[in-house]
Structure 1
């Protein structure tokens, strides 16, 4: 609900009179961000554990079918507490499917095959717009790609020379290596409650990367890959400061995991 003092800021004029919204309408510029902050706050104990939320898209996930009713009960308790309502026609239960472009199954989180195919089926870019489109597709899959910033570095360099497009041998090699990697993307897992996460961090002169892993029966499996191309100032940091920067970026991006699990 909007506070009374903000009603006038959400007013609109009709042929009859001037009216004010008492609840925030979605078409306001900051409505989506405001709502996202709300759901992040009220579902914080569940995020990354048994729930994912993006604005008004909500996914309750369970590693085992026997726990699903309990996870749903926890979610509906929060919904009732904050008087949030769901549209029954848009709800589905006991299914595996895509959420925000990812395929969620009992085994874990898989990349959307159509997004992988979009890169595998495309040829080398011939202009700046096609390079931008390629980078956008890589970013959409970045959580599944180890050191994605390093793998895409030659593509980012092209964007710095907008007037002089050149697809070099280095770009072609990186493109082919990326396709080879995409053909065998790893399965990401949901960490079990209270499990210790093992964080691995690396940095180069131009990029940083990290990945939290979960260990089960002596095998460590990835949870989420994080990567970033360093800007001019960041690239000049001493190695120890680059590692610290990588830790800060990872902690901010994967905050729900850091809050609900010990990290080693």
Structure 2
């Protein structure tokens, strides 16, 4: 079945068309009195630098990031050791996140989800591949996601884990996309 419908599945990040920005995109609302912060570039060892370069190449190939100049917000990347001696590249958005107010959109209540699922004999759980990365950043906010590497300053074209309020943007997408099904045969 999967082979016959392989065009319906994503096999690499580059295969993802993403969500049409006319449907939803992520905005960064920054407090008026906030001052942009360009963090001092941190040194990293050879192993981390190589891992960062590999990750940056993957992100460029997937068209998730682009090179930028003249940025005002500029955090460092941080590499965190994962299982099996691999590295995860994160961006230190501490300063940017402090400058953004909390989005008051309500996330799903776990108790409601559990109660809604009770009494059913069959459950299915779905997890979207790189789900946050399928939502585009608003073009005006892309450069605010800039980060620095040894080679260049880059910014995200897609929403990424680590920015404030991305969970509420994703919840909005799910609520908007599945609004006719929620409470009938789906819980989000």
State if a TM-score over 0.5 links the two structures. no
Q: Normalized against structure 2, the TM-score is what?
A: 0.27
Q: Normalized against structure 1, the TM-score is what?
A: 0.21
Q: Which has the higher contact order (CA 8 A, sep 6+)?
A: 2
Higher helix proportion (structure 1 or 2): 1
Higher strand proportion (structure 1 or 2): 1
Larger Rg: 1
